[in-house]
């Protein structure tokens, strides 16, 4: 594989596996429009033979979905975005990696460092030997590691928003404990039609789901602990277990996390503002808002919009982050990671509008 800069003006060849899902389809559309990438193949086990434009006219990707064939894909591609469910992803990721293809994996398979934690939440792991090499792909926190990585574990949508909301506090050792109440549009439940995703079930409704047991919990805890450790605060593992409760809200895409932190010491608004400004200065995809954000404000962007408020009366810190769960929470963040892996400008193909 050659870096784009070595390719005589042609873009890196990219395949998108699992392109018939919501996130995979957006990833395919982003790659297709990307000035530095060539979309060479899109695959789907369930919809092979159909044009992606028939499934998703709005994305206007005229390619035909193929059955995934690792040898063929490895020969044709410099990099692959693998939008498979967990467990299904690991084997494919390992096979592509073994053939020299850069991989961004949308699943949870390579996000958790500790195999026993993975097994506790997801069951047995099909390719544990690769865990060590994978880098957790949250660029705002792990940029340096991603640049040299050959396998990147694209974060879950909730961890993306929650970690960006909490990272400055975690690094500063300010989190005594935290409750994360998240609200997600229905696309977060995936494309499969179920009773839960039926319009009539979701419309005019709000309901919590997987209370106390959502699989993004250990992912958030792992990264918060690492941040706390690296930040010079408490050692990893000492962070109290979080309570994380997601809710379904009647909209298609968009996600808000509301984080309620009991701090280790009193923190005033001014200190909070400085902490976040310093943490995110120069970040192209983080916006610090001066009022609580709505998810509309980041729809179909790679942006994360953050607002923090010290509830001095109650001695608690309220941190809100809004993202598009299918973009920054999945597809566009994968492209951001791929840009970094390929030595491209991180913002390429992601439509940073202002500035």
What part of residues 320-349 is at the interface with a second copy (CB under 8 A)?
A: 320, 322
Binding part of the chain for a second copy, among 54-62, 101-109, 150-158, 223-231 by CB under 8 A, reads 54-62
| Location of structure tokens 């993975």 | 118
Binding part of the chain for a second copy, among 72-80, 132-140, 186-194, 328-336 by CB under 8 A, reads 186-194
CA angle, 119 then 122 then 128, to 5°: 50
**Considering CB under 8 A, how many residues would be counted as binding a second copy?**
78
Query: Which residues neighbour 171 within 8 Å (Cβ) at sequence distance 6 or greater?
Result: 227, 228, 230, 231, 233, 279
The smaller minimum CB distance to a second copy, of residues 110 and 307, is found at 307
The smaller minimum CB distance to a second copy, of residues 147 and 225, is found at 225
Of residues 180, 189, 142, 174, the one with CA closest to residue 161? 180
User: Is residue 62 part of the contact set for a second copy (CB under 8 A)?
Assistant: yes
The residue within the footprint of a second copy, chosen from 183, 214, 216, 328 (CB under 8 A), is: 183
The residue within the footprint of a second copy, chosen from 82, 93, 298, 340 (CB under 8 A), is: 298
The smaller minimum CB distance to a second copy, of residues 93 and 239, is found at 239
User: Is residue 296 part of the contact set for a second copy (CB under 8 A)?
Assistant: yes
Residue 108 CB-half CA count within 13 A? 27
User: Is residue 35 part of the contact set for a second copy (CB under 8 A)?
Assistant: no
What part of residues 125-154 is at the interface with a second copy (CB under 8 A)?
A: none
User: Is residue 116 part of the contact set for a second copy (CB under 8 A)?
Assistant: no
**Other Cβ atoms closer than 10 A to 300:** 13
The terminus-to-terminus CA distance of the chain in angstroms comes to 33
User: Minimum Å distance from CB 276 to a second copy?
Assistant: 15
Binding part of the chain for a second copy, among 104-112, 151-159, 225-233, 297-305 by CB under 8 A, reads 297-305
User: Minimum Å distance from CB 156 to a second copy?
Assistant: 18
Active-site residue list: 157
Of residues 217, 34, 237, 253, the one with CA closest to residue 122? 217
Query: Which residues neighbour 329 within 8 Å (Cβ) at sequence distance 6 or greater?
Result: 156, 157, 158, 160, 161, 188, 255, 323
Query: Which residues neighbour 316 within 8 Å (Cβ) at sequence distance 6 or greater?
Result: 260, 261, 262, 263
The smaller minimum CB distance to a second copy, of residues 123 and 241, is found at 241
User: Is residue 50 part of the contact set for a second copy (CB under 8 A)?
Assistant: no
């Amino acid at each position: 594989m050659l870096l784009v800069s070595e390719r005589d003006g042609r873009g890196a060849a990219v395949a998108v596996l699992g392109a018939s899902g919501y996130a995979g389809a957006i990833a395919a559309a982003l790659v297709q429009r990307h000035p530095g990438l060539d979309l060479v193949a899109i695959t789907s086990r369930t919809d092979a033979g159909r044009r992606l434009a028939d499934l998703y006219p709005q994305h206007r990707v005229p390619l035909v979905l193929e059955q995934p064939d690792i040898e063929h894909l490895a020969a044709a591609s410099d990099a692959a975005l693998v939008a498979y469910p967990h467990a299904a992803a690991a084997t494919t990721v390992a096979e592509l990696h073994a053939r020299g293809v850069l991989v961004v994996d949308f699943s949870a398979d390579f996000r958790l460092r500790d195999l026993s934690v993975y097994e506790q939440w997801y069951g047995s792991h099909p390719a544990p030997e690769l865990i060590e090499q994978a880098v957790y792909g949250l660029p705002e926190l792990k940029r340096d590691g991603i640049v040299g990585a050959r396998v990147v574990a694209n974060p879950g949508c909730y961890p993306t928003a929650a970690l960006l909301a909490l990272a400055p506090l975690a690094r500063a050792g300010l989190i005594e404990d935290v409750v994360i109440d998240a609200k997600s549009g229905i696309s977060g439940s995936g494309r499969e039609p179920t009773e839960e995703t039926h319009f009539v079930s979701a419309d005019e409704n709000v309901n919590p789901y997987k209370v106390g047991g959502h699989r993004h919990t250990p992912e958030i805890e792992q990264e918060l602990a690492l941040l706390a450790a690296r930040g010079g605060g408490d050692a990893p593992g000492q962070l109290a277990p979080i309570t994380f409760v997601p809710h379904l809200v009647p909209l298609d895409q968009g996600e808000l996390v509301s984080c309620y932190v009991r701090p280790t010491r009193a923190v005033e608004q001014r200190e909070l503002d400085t902490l976040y400004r310093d943490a995110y200065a120069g970040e192209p995809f983080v916006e610090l808002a001066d009022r609580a954000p709505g998810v509309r404000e980041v729809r179909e962007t790679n942006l994360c919009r953050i607002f923090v408020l010290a509830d001095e009366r109650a001695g608690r810190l309220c941190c809100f982050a809004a993202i598009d769960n299918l973009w920054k929470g999945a597809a566009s963040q994968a492209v951001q990671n791929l840009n970094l892996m390929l030595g491209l400008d991180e913002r390429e193909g992601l439509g940073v509008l202002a500035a």
